[in-house]
Structure 1
Amino acid sequence: MSLPSSSSSDPSVVSQLLATAHWAALAHGQQRRKSGSQPAYIQHPLHVASLLASPPSSLCPDPPLEILQAAILHDTVEDTDVTEQDLQDRFGPVVTRIVMECSDDKDLSKEARKQAQIDSAPHKSDGAKHVKLADKLSNLTDLMSPEGRPAGWSVKRIQEYFIWAKRVTDRCIDVNPGLGAQLEELYKSATFVHSGKTFKCHPDYE
């Protein structure tokens, strides 16, 4: 993919993060989230990075730059025409490895990809585990609000996502106790409103 590169001579963390966000925004282009308001897709990876950099994340107050960059870029290979080599050339091996660990194999069926996330979660690098936890937390938070969830999702589908997400995060939750505790609280007690009625997000977890 042909995207602009910026000078690597400026060591500023803020400068590098802003350049990464700009690069990811160009990569995601006109993609939109599937929620009713259809916000620009880039809001999701930026939210994932923000969750890692803010309390209660255990990486706060000094999250590694490479993990934040990987969070911003985590969907580029899976959902755009960005390649692994593009990331390698622009961001180097550490960021690229984390992004690739967080990318599903699109040659697999949807169910196989979901099972692969469960199976691979405990074997990922710590960097990838951090991104995976924040990614799931961002998606779960969206599902709890009518404005954030994909249009047409039923109560059953929302709850099935929570059940599956817990199976993924349970296998890597120890890497970030702060986000882990936040996720556990969602699984245990969070609710959502659908068609005027209130439901538990995770129906089977006490």
Structure 2
Amino acid sequence: MGTALRTFEAAGGWPEVRELAAGLAELDEAVEFAVRWHGEQRRPAGEPYLEHLLEAVRVLVEGVGVTDVDVLRAAVLHDVVEDTGCTAAEVRERFGSRVAELVGWVTKDEPAGGRSKAEARAAYLDRLRHAPEDALVVKLADRLSNVQRLDTHPRPEKRRAYYRETLTTIVPLARAHPWFHAWYAAWAREFAYLDAPEG
């Protein structure tokens, strides 16, 4: 990896990412589905939402060497149930039960039963400790995309909170995955200033 933190970009869109490896053309339908559902959504720093989804795919293909099409489809679709009006049933009908299950593992539930949003989030992050390996690599790629340029997030307080949450809940999940473990270790060092006392 060298001294510089490796980042994964997808500003060139799906045509550019599709050229990375044989077999990625099998994701065309999933990308089209994600584009339709996410529409004009933007990430906090203003980039089109699709870039985040494609960054996760690049991480899995280029970083980890994933070739399993269902896992890559789940990476493309990982936020479609959580962040749009799409249902898990629609994902299952279109892409099968395995993709739907993987998407389900990385989808945060809405708070219910009197739980606060923070409590629901904590329960979701705790549940990830029991996720199957394929779902876990999707989550690790998702979070990698979210934090690789954490300094571009428009809210400083969110940067600090997200850094700490990643250290305490996501980094431990990466320990069994050498590539992710090494990447997150380098990331934690590069962004350690976010954990410094304020003032």
> 30, 34, 37: which one pairs with 2:40?
30
Instruction: Provide, for residues 160-200 of structure 1, a one-character-per-residue CA deviation record: whole Å limited to 9, x for no partner.
Output: 2111112222342134210121011111x113xxxxxxx71
2:121 equivalent to 1:114: yes
> 97, 100, 104: which one pairs with 1:100?
104
Instruction: Provide, for residues 60-100 of structure 1, a one-character-per-residue CA deviation record: whole Å limited to 9, x for no partner.
Output: 1x421111100000000000011111011110011100001
Whole-Å separation in 2 of the counterparts to 1:73 and 1:115: 22
* Percent of paired sites with the same residue: 27
* Alignment partner, residue 149 of structure 2: 142
Whole-Å separation in 2 of the counterparts to 1:157 and 1:53: 29
> 191, 194, 200: which one pairs with 2:193?
200
1:201 aligned partner, one-letter code = L
8 Å CA contact retained: 1:117, 1:168:
no
Q: What does residue range 145-160 of structure 1 map to in structure 2 within 5 Å?
A: 146=152, 149=153, 151=154, 153-154=155-156, 156-160=157-161
Whole-Å separation in 2 of the counterparts to 1:202 and 1:40: 29
8 Å CA contact retained: 2:53, 2:76:
yes
Whole-Å separation in 2 of the counterparts to 1:102 and 1:44: 15
CA change 1:32–1:66 in 2 (3 A) is same
- Aligned to 1:130, the other structure's residue is in SS state helix
Question: After TM superposition, what 4+ stretches of structure 1 lie above 4 angstroms from structure 2?
Answer: none
2:169 equivalent to 1:168: yes
**Structure 1: where are the runs of 5+ without partners?**
1-11, 192-198
Whole-Å separation in 1 of the counterparts to 2:118 and 2:162: 12
Whole-Å separation in 1 of the counterparts to 2:149 and 2:34: 21
* Alignment partner, residue 5 of structure 2: none
2:60 equivalent to 1:52: yes
* Alignment partner, residue 10 of structure 2: none
Structure 2 length-normalised TM? 0.79
CA change 1:26–1:175 in 2 (3 A) is farther
CA RMSD in angstroms, aligned pairs only: 1.9
8 Å CA contact retained: 2:111, 2:117:
no
Paired residues in the alignment total 173
* Alignment partner, residue 77 of structure 1: 81
8 Å CA contact retained: 1:118, 1:171:
no
Structure 1 length-normalised TM? 0.77
